[in-house]
Chains A and B, each alone.
Chain A
Amino acid sequence: MRAAADLRRAEAVPTNLIEARDVVRSFGETPALRGANLAVAAGEIIAIMGPSGSGKSTLLHCLAGIYRPDSGEIWFDGERVDNWNEDRRTKLRRTAFGFVFQFGQLVPELSTADNVALPLLLNRVSRKEAYARALSWLARLGLEGLEGRRSGELSGGQAQRVAIARALVTGPKVVFADEPTGSLDSLTGEQVMDLLVDSARAEGTTVVLVTHDARVAAYADREAMVRDGIVTTHQRVGAQA
């Protein structure tokens, strides 16, 4: 009986999907992170906020395995991953993570459909299946009819929607979004955030969002403040400040 109760209690505790532990990262002589700690639960949407130069984007890049910390640890899905070699971390990024950046960063020579199918093709998914899934995601994000366009023929909002489709098409566990609406006007930014958040929630995808924009941060379940390379608040929704 007691073992069953312990098991139920253990199941009730939310597990962290991704975590930074005492992460330090410098660029030359300039410290960007000075012992940052952050834990994000599976399915959670978290906004990392802070002044320019506070280290919030560096924290995202460390969590995403793009930067390797100088010291400290990154854990993902129960495994320490910061000490993996570059090949393993690249594979992790391709299979488990999706990315949305401020300017979309689509490949300009490729069509919209090519851009969305690309991560699947890199993961050796068959061409037929890759394009079927790409077209499905484009339709889901309201981009029917734009499959053949190059990124230069898209509006800023359309390009970000393509970037969201590309980020989610592999079925990642985590989407990292760095100022995803930074180049958009308010209304277009809201439409992009609605799509990103609705899609992520429907898929159960965790989202780690870096933003300086309070309206964007308000889409998250909670926010973390980064100041001088340290996560200084870790406010839970509904918790007393």
Chain B
Amino acid sequence: MSVPVTLLGLLERQPSHGYELKREYDAYFGRGKPLPFGQVYATLSRLVRDNKVEPGEVEPGDGPDRKRYAITDSGKAEVEAWLDEPVDAEPYLQTVLFAKVVLSIMLGRPPSRYLDAQRAAHLQRMRELGELRRKGSVVDALLADHAMFHLEADIRWMDVTEARLGSLTDLVNQ
């Protein structure tokens, strides 16, 4: 998650104080990992320095947070470019799962035992995410879905790997 561009996106919706930005960020993107106030203001300072954001006048009233920040045209252009650009579709060819399977074979240990344990761990996590999906908000459900589909992809990889263990073992032991 890119914090600066996410804050810019929130500011494009409407000018906000730092504490409002933090509240919105935590509600949608910071689930389980709230954004520290210090990071909000440090990020806003950098965005001001880079002309992506401009601070408003200091508003009358109590409390330290009396500036309302607004996005600039340059900031809007950055948000637009970020939204248009797809995330790298990384192939994850050298995963920990892969390394454990290959090392198991190299060390003469049954890789299927590791795969069974890993599959059970993945399914247990999927159960927990399923509970979150059923009991949480639609935002929780979508985040849980995303995590579950990735775990499911890992399990499908484990199934295919298991089916190919014979030829993989031959290759590794050559």
What residues make up the interface of A, taking CB atoms closer than 8 Å to B? 51, 190, 194, 213-215, 217-219, 223, 225, 232-233, 235, 237-238, 241
Contact = CB atoms under 8 A, between A and B. Distances in A.
Contact of B159 (A51, A194, A223, A232): A51
Q: Is the interface of B mostly helix, strand, loop or mixed?
A: helix
A214 B155 contact: yes
16 contacts: A51-B159, A51-B162, A51-B163, A190-B133, A213-B152, A214-B126, A214-B156, A217-B123, A218-B126, A218-B130, A218-B148, A223-B123, A225-B116, A232-B116, A235-B120, A241-B118
A194 B117 CA distance: 26
B35 interface: no
A237 B122 CA distance: 11
A223 B124 CA distance: 10
Nearest to B154: A214
Contact of A194 (B124, B134, B155, B163): B134
A80 to B, nearest CB: 30
Size category of the binding interface on chain B: 20 to 34
A194 B130 CA distance: 10
Given A51-B163, A225-B116, A241-B117, A214 B151 contact: yes
A187 to B, nearest CB: 9
Interface in B39-89: none
